[in-house]
Every structure is written in C-alpha cells, then in structure tokens.
Structure 1
Amino acid sequence: MGWLTQYFLNPSYVLPGAALVSLPIIIHLLSRMRYKKVRFAAMEFLLQSDELNRRRLIIEQLLLLLLRVLAVLLIVLLLARLVLDPSQLMMLAGAKTHHVVIIDDTLSMRQQLDDETVFEHSISTLERMLKQGDTFGSQATILLMSQPDRALVTNRALNRSLIDELTPQLRNLNCTWKAGSPVPALQTAYNTLSSDGGVAPQVHVLTDLRASDWLGQPEISDALDQLDTIHARVSIIQVTKQTESNVAVTSVTSNKYATAINTAWRMEVRFANHHSEKVTGLRASVYVDGLALPGNILIPDIEPNAEIPVTHDITFDTPGQHEVEIRLDSDVLVEDNSRFVVVDVADKRTILIIDEEGSQTDAGFVELALSTDQMAAEIRTPDVLQNQSLDDYDMVYLLNVSKLPADAVILLRDYVASGGGIVWFPDDGADPTFYNTTLRSADTPLFPVKLGTIQAIPAATSDQEPQFQRPVFSEHPVFGAFSELPFADNILVSQWYGTEGQKPAEDNPDENDPLKVAVLAKLTNGDPIVYEHQVGDGRVMTFLTTAGRRWTTWPTVPPAYVMTHMLMHQYLQKPTTVVESRIIGPPLRFEWPVTDYTEGVEVFLPASDENADNSFRRLQAAPVDNKKNKEDSGEETGEDTSSPEETSLEVTISEADRPGVYRVRRFTQEGEAREKWLALSVPVTESNLLVAEAGDVEQLTEGDHVQVVSAEAASELSTSDQGRELRWVLIALLIIILLCEQLLALRLSFHPEVKQS
C-alpha cells in the first residue's frame, strides 16, 4: 500500500482512486482524436482571425481539465478518509507517529459508574482505540499518571503483537488511592517525544478531567506549551460525562492520640459536601478494631460546597493500640467515605511532679487535683532528673525548684523539644541567677522572662481588709472557660514574682519571637502571672506564684484548681511516638541510627481481598552513609551526623499504598521488639468530582494543539480529531471546484443564438 496509506482510515481506496484521477485526462485526449483536420483555402482567413484567441482557449481548456482532475481527487480523499494534520508537515516526508498514552490512575478515577469504575471505563476505551486504529508501523509509549517514571511500554512498535501483549496487562492494572497532577506525566511525555526525532508526536490523556486537577494550575499550561514547541498534538480523552455529588470524611483529629482506659477520648471529624445542593440526614459509623460501636455520629445538614466539624467521644476498655475508623454510607466514591486513626491506650497516664521541698506540700495539692482511676502522679525530688528517662511521662511539673544541674536542664530541654510539656511554679527559694541565665540561654530556653523581686500585697491592718490581687485570664484552651464561671472570682493572689525587662505587650505571642512568649493571665494591677512559650515541638507554661496555698488561694477553690490541672494535662501532654497518621503518597521510609535498631524489620499490612492470607512482610534495612547523603543533597537527614564514620539504616515500604493501619516492628540491639502503628488515609484533594469544561481546558494554552474529546468519540488511536475534521475542508473544496468547473465548461461550450420570431 505504500507509506502514504498510513494517513488514511480506508487505505484500500487509495490506489484505485489514484487510477481514477487519470480518467479526466484520458477522456480529454480521446475527445481530441475524434476530429480529422482538412485544410482548404477559405479557412486560412478564419485561422488568422482566430490566432488572437487561441492561447486563451488552450489555457481555459487546461484549467477545466485540472478542475475535473481535482474533483475526482477530492472524492477519492473523502472515500479514503484522509487524517493528515496540515500542521505536521513531517508526515509528508514519511515520518512515523509516536503515540504517548497517559492513563489517569488517581483516586478520583475510582468513582463508580453504572457497572464499572471510571478507571475501568478508561481501560476499556484504550483497548478499543488500540484495536480499531489502523496505526501499525507507528510507535507507542504508555504511562501511568501516578508514576510516569515507570512506563508500561516505552517506544515500542505498535502492531498486533504489542496489542495482544498489552491487553491482559491493562486489564490487570489497579487504580491507586493516591492524588496526582498531570504535570509530571506531561513532562515525561515531552522528554520522551523530544528525544525521538523524526516522528510525528501525539499525546493521548485518558482522564476524568477533574477541575481540581486541570484548572488553576499554571504548571499545566507550561507543560502543554512545552509540548507545542515540538509540534505535539494533545488529545485529552474525557471518560466521564458529568459532575457527580460526593460527601467525604476529610479528617479525624484530636489534641492527643494517647489516652487511658475508660476515659473519654474526644475526636473531631470533618465532613465535606462537594455538590451544589444541601445534604441532609447523614450518619457516620465508628469502628474500633474492625467492630462497629453502638450508635452513630449524627451529622448536621451540610450546605453546598461546605465543610463542617463534628466532635465525638469514645472510650476504650483495654490498653494497647486501637484502630479507629469513621465510615459514611457508600456513594459514587466509596474510598473517601472512611478515615483511619490509631489511639495509644494505657492503663493509666503518668505525670511526674518534681518538688524540691522536703514536705512536698505543694506537690500534694497537684497530685490530689490529678488523682483519678486513669491518671497517676509520681512525686520526686530533682535528683531523679539525673538518672531517669522522661519519655514515659505525659508532662512534668517543676515546683519550688531553686536550681538544677546542667545534665538535668539538658534532659528537660530535649524532653520539651520532642513534644513534651513542663510547668514551672517557683517559690521564694528560687535562684534568680539560675533562672535568668541558665534557663534563658540560647541553648536551653526553658524560662520565658527574667525573674525580678517577689511582689506582695500591702499588709492588712485592723481596719482594712487585705487587698488581694485577682488573675484575669485570656482566651486559651486551659483558661477559656474561667471568665464564665462564678468561682473564678475566689482565686486570690497575695505574692508573686515580678519580672525584669520588657514584658509582652499583648496576650498573643510576638510573631518575631522564636519562643512565641504569650501572657495567659494578668493580675488586676496589670502584672503578668501566667506565661506560655514554645521550645521545639513542646510547650512550657510558667506560673509566677506557687502551686500551694502559701501565695494564693487557688488550691482552696477545688473546681478551678482541678479544672486548671486537668486542662493543662490535656494541653501539654507529650504526643505518643507509637502511633502516627499520614496521607497516602510516596512509599513509607524509615531511617534510624545503627545503634537504635537492628536491620530486621517486620511489617503487617492492612487486611484486604488481595492479601487476606499474606499480610506479613519481612524486610531488611540497608545502611545509609549520612555524611554522603548530606553532601549530595545539602539537606539534614534528621540523624546525628557529627561523626563522619557514623551510618544509619533505612527501609522503604513500597506496599504502603492503600488506606488502613500498618504495623512496623523493629528490634533493639538487646532484641526487644518496638512497634509503630501508622494510619494511612486517602487524600482529600481527590474528593471534589467537579468536571472541568472542555473549553476551559483547551484554553489553558495559546496554541490550538490541545483538544478535549469524549471517550465515545475516541474510536481509534490515531492522530487528533482535528486531523479527521479535514473531511469538512475537503467537502467545501469539492463544492467550490465543481461550481468553478460548471461555470468554465459553460463558457467554453457552443450556444447558438435563437432568433426571435
């Protein structure tokens, strides 16, 4: 058939049509042979008079012949269905077409259609395009949007063998639970096509065309413009027809993911309505360790395109790590109807109280305020800070401490920097030099202000009541409710520490202050009495009065005293390191110093239909040279790299790609097993199923090389639809040529005049 036939959908018409083009020429030559030339004397005068018009007649006859040849040629092109794109002149030089197919396999493609998902519909569409298209001799590259760097096939000859090989491979593909942008895949397509010179580049993107993925991102416009520089046509094949309503669970959060048995653990669940109509009557179920709890979460009406929070309390009967799942009823996108968290539950939560006084009277008040069946307070002297780890304590109280040794200060700093919380209650035995220098150094910034002298109310006289000071609290998680409680007026202060230097001017922390020091309460005379500041990931609260009754009546107001310490525990509680929540994305990667754990790692995957009997994996960590990594990347690795010879171990869990709870078990050098529980949930960015308008997507680039077509219209893997639309151009040209041919034939034909009677 020749190389030119690859540009026709009906190539069998090309050669017969080429023969038909010669038919007008043959007829023209035969018509000239019908006449016999006979010369006689009288004709010489006529020939001399006709010599002036002869050249014009010959030109008009040749023009008429050309119009008839073109008419036949256009009819042949219409029958053969020319798919030539005039913008790709390289095709005329015999270039092949390189098709790069991008399959959108992000989470939103899991949307359920009538009897299949959108992703399954895109696969069946691609199969049909491969089988119906007459593109043999071309090349193909097939990419997945979630991982464009790992192509299914790369620069393979597109023939029947490849199609037979691809068909089962495509049917075995699974849509991911990840979010993704078209940009990396489009950039990979550009790199592939630009390195393959001498081809006609064509990009096909099978996608659900979500507005959140395609609109409002300048990077997509840049990627499409980049493809235009190599004259690549981009055919975006929309495999969805309309926007579907969808309600999603967008987050499950809590102040802390650690609690005690039989203690109410509060979570905030957020629900989003991605539709233009109000949603009513929703209910959500709560599952703990795979079992549904009695009752449901009642969800208020959700306005169109709105999100609402709902708080809910649950309790746990047994200690350990517990999987919690919030689940909505099924809709068109089932996967975003649930989210997971893991809660670390202990028999009791433990608090450390350091009191330097031998009597430990003040510590007794704090211990009594925190005494519950689910909470235990340990009262110790400062000596314990030199030989005991603080990791097992939720928070640390420091009462009446005069000074601490250097190693104890560093221990407290590391504890707070890793997320722990401490509370200061200094008394008249405090060493101002220690507080103002050691605790306020750049290396150990554990105290917010410089201590001044002790302030006291005027001494009472026989005819005058003591002029006590009352604290005025700001809006804060610990003190926010005090302004509405009547017993708060019974809190009186007789002595307190003054401060030196500039005081924070406002109750809110200074944005330029690295410690973010904030005043949480002031006395009625304006002196600050309670501070808060941040060190690393943890918080420090400072009371410039005592925790007992020597300087304040606070302990004698049980509702206020107990509420204060209970809320401080919730606010300052050190986050557990045993559990963690993440969004599905890149593979899970863990790195640790070789002295912490051995190389052996055990992973327990969430149960599913695919791995019901094989959810356990045993992995081997590999050594990593921290110094080399730091030199190569210029970034910190998060490990101590002070020694050039020190190395770390790392392991990557590539199978952590679906929602659920994963357990990662590592072993210390002594052989003790340590587990980390990770709850992975789907990305919320994929929940909005709003479909972008085709015109808006086509206008992302200034060129005309981008076209959006429906899955039904994409009947074959060939050049873009703009090429197929040449048939309308051919029809228009045929009509014009036929009109011109008739007019010219009329001019050249003989029409005798009819005499009027």
Structure 2
Amino acid sequence: MPTFLHAPLLWGLLLASVPVLIHLINMMRHRRVRWAAMEFLLVSRKKNRTWVLLKELLLLAARMSIVAIIVLMVAQPLLRDQLGAVLGGSKTHHIVLLDDSFSMSDRSNGATVMDRAKEAVDRIGAMVAAGGDSRTFTLLRFSEAGRGGRRTQPDLLQEQVDSEFRARLRETLKTIQASETAAGPVAPLEAIGQLLGEGEDETRVVYLISDFRKKQWDRPEDIRSRLAELRAKGVSLHLINCVDARRPNLAVTQLELTSGTVAAGIALFMEVEVRNYGGEPARNVSVVLEEDGHARPAVRIDEVPAGESVRERFEVTFAAGGAHRVAARLDGDVVTADNYRYAVVDVPLEVPALIVDGSVDQQGAFFLSAALAPGGNVRTGLRPRVETPRFLDDNPLDAFPVIYLTDVEHLDQRAVKGLENFVAGGGGLAIFLGPRCRAGFLNEGLWRGGEGLLPLPIGGESALFIDRLDNAPDLDVVDHPIFRVLGGQNNSFLSQIKVGRYFAAPKDWKADAESTVRVIARLRDGAPLVVERAFGKGRVVAWLSTAAPIWNNAGSSPAFVVLVQEMQAYLARRVEAAAPLLVGSPIELSFDPAQYQNQVRFVSPGRDGAETTAHDAVLKEDNMLHARLTRTDAAGVHEAQLLTATGMVDARRFAVNVDPAEGDLARLDGSQLAARLDGVEYAYHQADTFEARRDASIGRNLSDVLLYLLIVLLVGEMLLAWSCSYHPPETRVAAPFGRGAAA
C-alpha cells in the first residue's frame, strides 16, 4: 500500500463531498409545476433517462475525483518501486553507512561535520518511520566495519521500524561521536553483503554519509567497484555530503628521536613536525610539549607555508631509565584529533659499545674507549667493551648498537657472516685500519667485489708527505653529520689532525654513482680517507688509517672525542624510539613463556579515562607466548603489563597516533565526485538540502502521476459538463419572399 509524507493532510479528502453537497443544494431548488405541454416532454425524456443519468453521475464522480487528487498531491503519496512491495510481498531495508573518521570533527559555526551527518541520519529515520511496519533499518559506522581483524559491529542491525523506532534511533545518535580513526568506505561497503547476505527478498536502499575528502575519494577505484556491485544487485545508492567548504587545518605529523646516543641522564634531541593543510601560511605556531606528563617549554615555529611541513628540534633529558612518554600538542585548531602526537622512548641506563681490536697492545681500543667514555664529569651513557676477533665467532651481536673494528688482521668466515647479518639488520659498523691489516683479506673477505661490508677496495699502504710550502689541512671533509660539529670555518680542530700513513685505494677506483658508497673525507692529495656505505638497514664507515695515534695524531686530538661521539650517534641503530602505531591497528607482542606468565593486562586511554582489559596469551609454534589487543580506538600511550615468573610487573608501552593524512580537509564537490564515479548510478545530496528530496529515498513519489491524471480528469469533466448541458441549435433568418428568385 502507498504511504504519505504528509499523512495528516488526508483529512482533506472530506472536501471531495463538496460537489455532492452542491448537487443536493441545486436539487432542493427544484419545484414541481404541472404543465400540460410538459407531459409530452416527460414521455420523451423517459426514453433517454438512463443515458442522461449516467453522464450526470460520471460528471459528479469526476468533480469529486478532482478534489481528492488535489488533496492527495499535497499529501505526497509514496509507492515502492517493485510490484511485490506494493502488494505487501516484500520489505525495504534502509542501510546507513556513517563516516566517523576524525576529519568529520571539522568544526564551523559552532557545529561539527558529524553533527550535520547525525541530523541527516535523523531525517532519514523520520522518512523511514513514515513508511510503515514493512521496513528495517541498519546503521553502521565506518570505524566499526571489521577493521583490524575485528568483527563488524553495527549500532543498529536490521532494526524493525515501529512506533518506538525514532526514539531508539535518537538515543543511539546521542552516543555517536567522530572517532580518531581514518576509516574509509571500502570496509563498510564490503560488510553489507558479509553482514546482511544477498537480500534477495528485500529492497535495499544504501545511504553513504561522508565528507568526501580527496584523500579517499580522489582515486576511488575500490570504492567505485563496490558501488557498482551494489547497483548491479538493484540497490539504490544515495551519497550525502556533509561539507560545504574546505577549512584550513594544522597537524602534528611527526614526533621522533634524531640520531644520537640514548641513555639515562644524557641530553638528546627530538624533532617535531607540523604540516599546514590550508591554503594560507600559518605564522607563530606554538607546539606545547610534555614529558611523562610534565610540561616543557613550548617549541615556536615562525611560519609553516601552505601545503608544506616544518620540522623543529628540541632537547630532552631523561633522568631515569625505562619507557618514557613524550607528547606534542597544538591549540586552537578546527580538527582536534591531529593536534596531538605521542612517542615512547625506551631509555637504557647505559648503551654498550663493542670494540674488537686485533693488535697485541690494543692501542686502538684504548683510544676508542677513551673517546666513547671519557670519564670524570663527562657522562656519555656509553659502556665500551673490548674483545678480540674471536668474540665475533660465537657470540650474539644484537645487544650492541655499534661495533668498532680496529687493526684486525683476519676474521673467520663465520665472523664475517655474523657482522654482515648484524649490519643488514640495522646495526652500525666502524672499521679502522692499521699496521696488522692485509689488503688480501680486506679485499677478499670484506669488500668482495662490492658485495661485502667494506665500501671500497684496498690497494696498499701509502704515505702522505709533508708539504712545508703549503699550509693546507690534511683533511678535506664534506657536509656530513660526523663532521658537522667540527666543520665550521671558525673551528680549527680538524685542521690540527695530521695524517702520515694510510691505506690507499686503487688509482682507477671511483665510487659508482648508483651505489650508496660515498667519500666523506679526503686527504689533501685527493686520496679517500673516510668512506661510508649503506648495507641493508645499517651503515658502515671505514677509516683508512689508525684509531690510535700511530699513523696520525687524531687519537690524541681533542677533536677525536667529538668525532667518535658523532659517529656513534650516526651509526647507532634507531631502536630506542618505538615505531608509532595508527589508531585502529592492533597491538601485538610476544614473550618467552619461561620468563613470563600467560596473563597480560592492557591499559588503554579512552574518552572517559583509562580502560583496562585482561587477555590470556597463546602459545604458538615458535614456542613464544603471543598476545593481541584488537581495539586501539584512541590515540595516546597504551601499556601492556606482563607478569614475570616471579610475579613482578613488566610494563611495555606503545605510542598510538592518528593517521595525519586524514587531517587534509580538501574535498570533492558533486561534479568532481561524479567524474570519479563515472558509470555508477547514484543520487547525490548535500546534507543541508537532503530533506527537500527525501521522497526519493523511501519510494516512488506518485505526485507526478496524479498530476497527469488530474489533467485528464479536468479535460474529461469539461467535456462531460458540455455534454450534460443544453445547447440550442443555431437558427437562420429566412429571406423575404421572392428575394433571390431567378430573373
């Protein structure tokens, strides 16, 4: 049966009785008058009475129908498209997919985009409620569509539309807010079939309510294919845009450690990055910093150009070891979620450094140890450990961020393989040559035609003769982190380093332009002295002279401490800063069952405070216990609390951040969206004007059909009225007798 958008107006159908009342009033005006001549006419009328009465009844019915149709047009009757639905053999399922990504928290004129989206959902609910009891309703947010291995959790699933439906929907909408995820429409579109089946016994109408940002909709191949699949199944699609303009937005996109030694009590540097997603430069941007919940001096950025990012460095010192929390925040922005950035820094009490010395007197190890840990009031956080080359054969190396080789004559193949695995995994290696080194082993064991650790082939020992006529320094360095502190024009420490002997490269050797090999320091005769290369995830720096002041005076120079410290910071693997996870991603950890119990408690930030959940870890094939926190719905620092075998708590922290790309508020309008969804049939609406077109969303509006019927009835009524009325024939005046007679 048809339904009506304005059902109370159906009381106007009583106006259809007005033509009957007029007819009865006219009947009361008739009086019976006896007239002899009329008797003859009555006898004649009886022969045509049935036909005349039929035309009068049709005329009366037409006039009543005209009034009724006008009333129905105002009430706007709606009819479902399929004939089975009209006959009551099918139902209509209205499915609302609501974008709740954090870009929906964009605020203007005191309201967020999510507020407008919820108003649109409420209007859809009102339309659905006007459709009767043969309708069902499903509400699914983007963030709840089975992301991160979770099952799909709609807010309303196949909810029967009854007299209490509007109240239930409004209570549900009160609890919905923009999430901190960057969830897109692909997962909820896929969830329709997975959650609700094919739906062959129902008519489906899908409403996709979003802000249609360029990030997800500029190249919507996956979205287009899924929308096309729904249309092929007869699903009606409505895309409702809740944004009318793009607004500027700033976001904190990075918060991380720079290279450097991380240890308790040691000053280190971190960098914060701010991106301007607006069309105008942002000036005097202040970034508020926190360290373990305590406020720090803010970082001030003079200007962030439109569409660009600016990084600013700041210093931080952690007095104690452990996992420390660092947070950065912007104030007064249209989107709140991307104004925050979190980092977890694991700070050890000390950092071990392995020095492998092949000489008998171990002079190179002595000077390297003195440079790494000078002692006295100078604290570097480094703990040097000196070993012989045999240590590399059977001992694990992962505990050392950087390994130093000095004057090593030979290494077993097993030791070379261990070093290669160490560097490829992200470790750093510094190689100092010396009198015990042999070009044969260096080339065959460490260079290996460019496949090994050594950045260049070695030709043999060479001497740098003293040029007394030229006061040029022996070292010519490039702009590089190792030399940056000492490379200024006003810094004379590098010029004090004198080199007498070194290992020379072959005369015809030249670094391949496509390789990672780079000469970062040369002697005054142009010969390479310090060469670096990338190897896997790690780096190698080769010094072609001694670490001890044997072939040079570097080891006894004040500059040597700075050079070694900067090299340690440059080579150290960056494992101290835990990689931030994105909101919605699961947290996974594994641990040894011999050291820990299988109970794990996760403490996560939430809107109303910390939330605690308990999990039982599972023993897997690798003989390790594995635990997984599926829901990470809020940005911040999440903590996993493990119980050791002795009952002690071991807390591990994880930084979870929003996806900063979601903060780009560039949007697509209707025409741009149509170009990208070419070939997909859908109805496009702006949320603010969606109510004016709501008839299309719950069925076919019969107003146009009634209009055509009204025109036909009006024409028919005019013809019937003309037929039922008396029209005397036209009479001609007779010409005078004789006029016009033939002559």
TM over 0.5: yes
Distance 1:256 1:374 in 2: 14
C-alpha distance in 1 between matches for 2:459 and 2:289:
53
- The more displaced of 9-18 and 676-685 is 9-18
Give CA-to-partner distance per residue, 1:514-535, whole Å, 9 cap, x none.
xx44443444555433332333
Give the distance between the partners of 1:253 and 1:751, measured in 2 at CA.
102
Residue 213 of structure 2: which of 204, 210, 213 is its match? 210
Contact between 2:268 and 2:316, CA under 8 Å: does it hold in 1? yes
CA separation in 1, counterparts of 2:202 and 2:425? 57
CA 1:169 to 1:85, structure 2 compared with 1: closer, same or farther past 3 Å?
closer
State how far apart, in whole Å, the 2-side matches of 1:61 and 1:442 are. Answer: 111
1:708 aligns with 2:714: no
Is 2:75 the counterpart of 1:104?
no
Task: Assess if the C-alpha contact under 8 Å between 1:209 and 1:238 holds in 2.
Answer: yes
Question: Counterparts of 1:109-258 in structure 2 under 5 Å?
Answer: 109-112=104-107, 117-119=112-114, 122-123=117-118, 125-127=120-122, 129-131=124-126, 133-135=129-131, 136-148=133-145, 149-160=152-163, 167-189=170-192, 195-256=198-259
Secondary structure at the counterpart of residue 459 of structure 2: strand
Structure 2 residue runs without a partner (length 5+): 31-37, 45-54, 146-151, 734-743
Q: Is the CA contact (8 Å cut-off) linking 1:581 and 1:679 kept in structure 2? A: yes
Read off the aligned partner of 1:423 and give its amino acid letter: A
Q: Which is greater in Rg? A: 2
Q: Secondary structure, in 3 states, of the residue corresponding to 1:324? A: strand
Quickly say closer, same or farther: Cα 1:232–1:504, change in 2 above 3 A. Answer: farther
Deviation track 1:152-172 (CA, whole Å, cap 9, x = no partner) reads 343343334555555544433
Distance of 2:634 and 2:292 partners within structure 1: 17
The code of the aligned residue for 1:138 comes to R
Give the aligned partner of residue 649 of structure 1.
Answer: 625
Q: Secondary structure at the match of 1:105?
A: coil
Q: Equivalent residue for 2:75?
A: 80
Equivalent residues in 2 for 1:425-574 (5 A)? 425-439=432-446, 445-457=452-464, 470-479=474-483, 484-485=488-489, 487=492, 488-499=494-505, 503-506=509-512, 509-510=514-515, 516-523=516-523, 526-555=526-555, 558-559=558-559, 561-574=560-573
Task: Tell me the SS of whatever aligns to 1:78.
Answer: helix
Quote the residue 2:380 is aligned against.
374
Measured against aligned partners, the alpha-carbon deviations of 1:308-335 in whole angstroms (never above 9, x if no partner) come to 2222223333333321111111333222
Residue of structure 2 equivalent to 1:331: 333
Distance in 2, Cα, partners of 1:493 & 1:754: 138
Q: Which of the residues 675, 692, 697 maps onto 1:720?
A: 697
Cα distance change of structure 1 residues 469 and 484 upon mapping to structure 2, 3 Å threshold: closer
Residues 424-433 or 178-187, more deviating: 424-433
- The alignment-based identity, stated in percent, is 24
Q: Cα distance, 1:179 vs. partner?
A: 0.6
2:285 pairs with 1:282: yes
More displaced, 220-229 or 519-528?
519-528
**Which stretch shifts more, 115-124 or 746-755?**
746-755
Deviations 1:583-625 (A, max 9, x none): 223221224575675523343334x55245xx54442111334
Do the aligned residues in 1 keep the contact of 2:250 with 2:339 (CA within 8 Å)? yes
Asked whether the 8 Å contact 1:400–1:546 carries over to 2, the reply is yes
Q: Take 1:130 and 1:99, find their aligned partners in 2: how far apart are those partners?
A: 9
* Corresponding residue of 2:149: none
Q: Give the letter for the 1:355 counterpart.
A: D
The alpha carbon displacement at 1:693 in A equals 1.9
Query: Which consecutive residues of structure 1, in runs of 5 or more, have no partner in the other structure?
Result: 42-59, 511-515, 626-645
Q: Does 1:686 align with 2:662?
A: yes
Quote the Cα distance in structure 2 between the aligned partners of 1:90 and 1:546: 91
**Which residue of 668, 676, 680 corresponds with 2:652?**
676
Name the SS for the 1:603 alignment partner.
strand
* Counterparts in 2 of 1:211 and 1:286: CA distance versus 1, 3 Å: same
Shift of 1:9: 2.2
Residue 8 of structure 1 is matched in structure 2 by 4
1:572 to partner: Cα distance? 0.9
8 Å CA contact 1:365, 1:547 repeated in 2: yes
What is the CA-CA distance between 1:341 and the residue it aligns to?
1.0
Structure 2-normalised TM-score?
A: 0.79
Q: Secondary structure at the match of 1:300?
A: strand
Equivalent residue, structure 2, for 1:610: 608
User: Alpha-carbon deviation of 1:195?
Assistant: 0.5
After superposing the two structures, state which structure 1 stretch, 10-19 or 355-364, moved more: 10-19
Q: C-alpha separation between the residues in 1 aligned to 2:72 and 2:697? A: 18
User: Which one of 615, 618, 621 corresponds to residue 622 of structure 1?
Assistant: 618
Distance 1:709 1:90 in 2: 32
Contact in 2 for aligned 1:468/1:494 (Cα 8 Å): no
- Alignment equivalent of 1:397, drawn from 389, 396, 404: 404
Q: Which moved more, 1:148-157 or 1:466-475?
A: 466-475
Find the counterpart in structure 2 of residue 306 from structure 1: 308
SS in 1 for 2:180: coil
Q: Is the 8 A contact 1:353 1:377 kept in 2?
A: no
Q: CA deviation at 1:284?
A: 1.7
- Cα separation, 1, equivalents of 2:40 and 2:667: 76
Judging changes above 3 Å, is the alpha-carbon distance between structure 1 residues 250 and 464 closer, same or farther for their aligned structure 2 residues?
Answer: closer
Structure 1 residues 492 and 23 mapped into 2: Cα distance closer, same or farther (>3 Å)?
Answer: farther
Partner of 2:34: none
Return the alpha-carbon distance in structure 2 between the equivalents of residues 143 and 108 of structure 1: 17
Q: Is the 8 A contact 1:601 1:664 kept in 2?
A: yes
After TM superposition, give the deviation of residue 298 of structure 1 in Å.
1.1
Contact 2:100–2:141 at 8 Å: present in 1 too?
Answer: yes
Whether contact under 8 Å (1:128, 1:716) holds in the other structure is: no
DSSP-derived class of the 1:451 partner: coil
Shift of 1:550: 2.6
* Alpha-carbon distance between aligned partners in 1 of 2:248 and 2:370, rounded to the nearest angstrom: 53
Indicate conservation of the 8 Å contact 1:348/1:375, yes or no. yes
- Determine helix, strand or coil for the equivalent of 2:186: helix
**SS where residue 684 of structure 2 aligns?**
strand
Q: CA deviation at 1:424?
A: 0.5
Instruction: Give the letter aligned to residue 101 of structure 1.
Output: V
The answer as to whether partners of 1:90 and 1:198 remain within 8 angstroms in 2 is no
Shift of 1:566: 2.3
| Matched residue SS, 1:146 | helix
Does the 8 Å CA contact 1:347/1:374 hold for their aligned counterparts?
no
Q: Which aligned pairs between 1:569-608 and structure 2 lie closer than 5 A? A: 569-576=568-575, 579-591=578-590, 598-606=597-605, 608=606
Distance 1:405-1:658 versus aligned 2 partners, 3 A rule: same
Per-residue CA deviation, residues 679-731 of structure 1 (Å, 9 max, x unaligned), is: 1111112212344323433452434422223156449987528955x64x458
Q: Distance in 2 between matches of 1:91 and 1:609?
A: 44
Q: In angstroms, what is the RMSD of aligned CA positions?
A: 4.6
Q: How many Å apart are 1:126 and its aligned residue?
A: 2.9
Distance across 2 between alignment mates of 1:67 and 1:442: 101
Identify if the C-alpha distance between structure 1 residues 376 and 218 changes in structure 2 by more than 3 Å, giving closer, same or farther: closer
C-alpha spacing 1:36/1:10, structure 2 compared with 1 (3 Å): farther
SS at match of 2:273: strand
Measure how far apart 1:380 and its partner are. 1.3
The change in CA–CA distance for 1:165 and 1:65 in structure 2 (over 3 A counts) is closer
Partner AA of 1:102 in structure 2: L
Q: 1:722 to 1:478 in 2, by over 3 A?
A: farther
Structure 1: distance between partners of 2:398 and 2:439: 29
Do the aligned partners of residues 744 and 215 (structure 1) sit closer, same or farther apart at CA in structure 2, a change above 3 Å counting?
farther
